[in-house]
Structure 1
Amino acid sequence: MGRAFEYRRASKEARWDKMSKLFPKLGKAITIAAKEGGTDPDMNPKLRTAIATAKAQNMPKDNIDAAIKRANGKDSADIKTIFYDGKGAHGVQIIVETATDNPTRTVANIKSIFNKNGGEMLPSGSLNFMFSRKAVFSCEPYAGETDELELALIDAGLEEMESSDEELRIIGDYTAFGTLSAALEENSLVIKKGALEFLPNSTISLNDEQMSELEKLLDKLEDDDDVQAVYTNVE
């Protein structure tokens, strides 16, 4: 992992921690998961993981319960997950994941952010072949033998596992989200974050100056109320 990767990762984590609208975004993820798979966490792995992610960010239980209840309310009926494609400077490809009840508002805001920060929106689906949808989990560090754990998770859909002192990162095909989530729980792993993410099929490197320029665009995108996540091809 190069300096640019560490810079990007540290900057992204700092933004995530400091986002003033973090709880509403986590709440939307919970509501959408409950809408899609039901409000019982025991029967809905995506909801169970969304709740675990929220708890890892110290989201109060009352907020979590309220987000689940909203799945059955009229206000949640129109909330949809919509992806927008774009590009930034220096060949950076960007997929923006949104949760919105007003796509007209959202697309106008996203387009404006791109245009004002050195980027450009692309037609939807333009980057489909540049990224792969994956089930990605970030867990507390694993104290046991990782080789044995890897063997135990392969049958559940594990494709890649990265272990460090800070976390255990698990990656599998997006269709294996439920089986991987269950397998992690069966092996007593503590999930800090879990979601379906877009991972780049190939990456590019940026120097510190280029990265700083890109951060301005990414910050604006992530600050938007409707944006849930931003994915890039930066290593």
Structure 2
Amino acid sequence: MGRAFEYRRASKEARWDKMSKLFPKLAKAIQVAAKEGGLDPEMNPKLRSAIATAKASNMPKDNIDAAIKRASGKDGVDIKNIHYEGKAPHGALIMVECMSDNPTRTVANVKAIFSKNGGELLQNGSLSFMFSRKAVFHLEPFKGDLEELELELIDFGLESLEQSEEELLIMGDYTAFGELSTTLENKGLTLKKAGLEYVPNSPLSFDENQLLDIEKLLDKLEDDDDVQAVYTNID
């Protein structure tokens, strides 16, 4: 799918398990979703999904409530969604999603990470034809009839459905996020993470040595406090 290749999974999950970095990132996602779509999770699919993702990561309820409250405060920090596009070593393409209260700081940090790790920050729009924006849902494995589930979800914008031992991955057009989110909730499926992701239109393969070079850049990007997610065109 190009979001993260298999051999990176263990190190990536270990990093995200560091609560000092994980919870602030989850809180930002909740705050932005609440500010954009309203404070009522029942009426705001993005907020419901952000909360579900936080709960799946064992984020305390007090932290979740505090993030929603900050979104309603007049004196709260204004956090903006920003994305950057870049090129990693060996020509791998990267989309970087950030949430920041200081875009000047964020772009300087992201640019420095690219330049110090063999990459290059590109002008936004350069990769617009290389990635598609998709509604992506990571759920606990489904124990029922997958074919039946697939047929039901097609009416709500499903484009692809794939199950592994670890999760059920559901993908649809970004405009179908709300309908798919509500339908999955109504069916009682357990959400691990959901959101709008950048999916490569033409994934590429790289050898092990190339992947190690690319990994260094990806690690540094994901460690930045303002970076929410990193997507690549790696197959």
Give TM-score, length-normalised by structure 1.
0.95
Match of 1:189 in 2: 189
How far apart, in 1, do the equivalents of 2:13 and 2:185 lie? 25
SS at match of 1:21: helix
Match of 1:50 in 2: 50
Match of 2:130 in 1: 130
How far apart, in 1, do the equivalents of 2:234 and 2:8 lie? 8
Match of 1:27 in 2: 27
RMSD: 1.6
Matched to 1:164, the amino acid is S
SS at match of 1:193: strand
Please tell me whether the aligned partners of residues 54 and 64 of structure 1 are also in contact (alpha carbons under 8 angstroms).
Answer: yes
Unaligned runs of 5+ in 2: none
Please tell me whether the aligned partners of residues 134 and 198 of structure 1 are also in contact (alpha carbons under 8 angstroms).
Answer: yes
How far apart, in 2, do the equivalents of 1:106 and 1:5 lie? 26
2:226 aligned with 1:231: no
Give TM-score, length-normalised by structure 2.
0.95
Match of 2:180 in 1: 180
Match of 2:85 in 1: 85
How far apart, in 2, do the equivalents of 1:47 and 1:80 lie? 16
How far apart, in 1, do the equivalents of 2:202 and 2:232 lie? 10
Matched to 1:171, the amino acid is M
Following superposition, which runs of at least 4 residues in structure 1 exceed 6 angstroms of deviation?
none
Give the paired residue count.
Answer: 233
SS at match of 1:59: coil
Matched to 2:13, the amino acid is E
SS at match of 1:66: helix
Alpha-carbon offset, residue 192 of structure 1: 0.4
Unaligned runs of 5+ in 1: none
Match of 1:16 in 2: 16
Q: Percent identity?
A: 71
How far apart, in 2, do the equivalents of 1:89 and 1:76 lie? 39
Matched to 2:149, the amino acid is L
Q: How does 1:111-122 map to 2 (within 5 A)?
A: 111-122=111-122
Matched to 2:205, the amino acid is S
Alpha-carbon offset, residue 74 of structure 1: 3.8
Match of 1:106 in 2: 106
Please tell me whether the aligned partners of residues 139 and 190 of structure 1 are also in contact (alpha carbons under 8 angstroms).
Answer: yes
Matched to 2:102, the amino acid is N
Matched to 2:38, the amino acid is G
SS at match of 1:197: strand
How far apart, in 1, do the equivalents of 2:8 and 2:127 lie? 21
